[in-house]
Structure 1
Amino acid sequence: MRVLFHPRPGGGSRVVLHREDRVVLEMLSYDRKYRIPHDLAHAVTERELGLSSGVFGCLAAGALFSSATVVSGTLRHDAKARSQAILRANRTGIALAESLAGVLHDAVEHHRIAPLTEAREAWGVLSEHPFPYGECEIRRAHSTLTRLAAAWTHLPPGEGLKFEWPRRLTASGAPVSVPRQRQAPRRVR
């Protein structure tokens, strides 16, 4: 999935997502109090930590959040049910992604070092499973977000920040679609 982050006049950001099903979505963000868009922090955190069940993995799988609108393309006939199933199946992953993205976003926003301890604590609040990341992964995510934050700050007017979302990080949990059976035409007597 190709993702483009665009600054909005007056602050905030606009995210345009080009999904593999040829649907193009737009999400508007009103995060004017931060120099780094929160959605960018999400995308970086989720990709660098391999979180397929976060916001962007769910969007890639076909989920539609209330902040997303369809710009072009045709949604599947079962798009609403599919979206609900994906979101339901990945509820914990979305919460973990939100928490970890918040920790990394805050650290980069305030020029602090990679927040391993804070990330571990945030994980522990939401999951009973051991924290799966080491210092190297948290540093890499922090470094990538720092680099992209600098690129965001220096974007030429009218340009967007390009971000690739890997196919391997597409969320699961969508029901398998069964083709609709065609009904035989009714005979009229």
Structure 2
Amino acid sequence: MLVVFSPSPRGALTLLHRDDGVTLEMRSYDRKSRVPHDLAHAVTERELGWRTGVFGCLAAGALFSSVRVLDGRQRYDARERGRRLIAGHARDIGVAELLAWVVHEAVEHGTGNPFLAARDAWGTLREDPFPYDETDLQRATSTLRRLGDAWLNLPPGDGLRFSWPRRLTAPAVPPARPRPRRVPRRVR
């Protein structure tokens, strides 16, 4: 998926050109930050290999409230499939939000240790051990810092192009099976 971040009067505008030919627009109202929050999400999720976050779910067909379809034909079951993706990966989307926030804060304010902050944040939502090491968080932070600088120096009318790897597309969430109807036994 190709993602293009562009400045807009309300913050940042993100165009997503999915592999299925659908083009999406994601609106962001993040005008307070030097670097757009959605860019921090994309960088953090990609650099950490987090496929069930915001961008992995978007690549798989989810549509969040800030996203609209601009072009292309969606699957016949796009709405239901998108709902299942968001519901099925809700916990991981929350983790992605925390991890992106940590990396974004490190780049915006340059304070603290992103590894320690991410590890501590992880423990608020997950019980399993933190799967990343310090170099993973350093890589995400330095990539966001580099792309943040590119963002600030974009020529007028240009956009920052970002590649989302196909391997980081969220897996589909199958529909729930209807429960078999329980028939009461006859008592003789």
Q: TM-score under structure 2 normalisation?
A: 0.90
Secondary structure in 2 matching 1:13: strand
Q: Distance in 2 between matches of 1:40 and 1:143?
A: 13
Tell me if 1:15 matches 2:14. yes
Consecutive unaligned residues of structure 1, counting only runs of 5 or more, are 177-189
Percent sequence identity is 58
The farther-off stretch of 22-31 and 109-118 is: 109-118
Check whether the contact 1:61–1:174 (CA below 8 A) recurs between aligned residues. Answer: no
Aligned AA (2:170): A
User: What is the aligned partner in structure 1 of residue 89 from structure 2?
Assistant: 90
Residues 54-133 of structure 1 aligned to structure 2 (within 5 Å):
54-112=53-111, 114-133=113-132
Deviations 1:100-125 (A, max 9, x none): 00011011001236511100011000
How well do the aligned residues superpose, as a CA RMSD in angstroms?
1.1
Which residue of the partner structure matches residue 40 of structure 1? 39
> CA offset at residue 174 of structure 1?
3.2
Partner of 2:2: 2
Q: How many Å separate the matches in 2 of 1:84 and 1:29?
A: 21
Unaligned runs of 5+ in 2: 176-188
Name the SS for the 1:28 alignment partner.
strand
| SS of residue paired to 2:6 | strand
- Asked if the contact 1:6/1:160 (under 8 Å) is kept, the reply is yes
**SS of residue in 2 equivalent to 1:27:** strand
Alpha-carbon distance, 1:89 to partner: 1.4
Q: Which amino acid aligns with 2:32?
A: K
**1:78-105 per-position Cα deviation (integer Å, ceiling 9, x unaligned):** 0111001111111111000000000110
> How far does the alpha carbon of each residue in 1:122-158 deviate from its partner, in whole angstroms, 9 at most, with x for none?
1000000100000010000000000000000000000
User: How many angstroms apart in 2 are the aligned matches of 1:175 and 1:6?
Assistant: 34
What is the TM-score when the length of structure 1 is the normalising length?
0.90
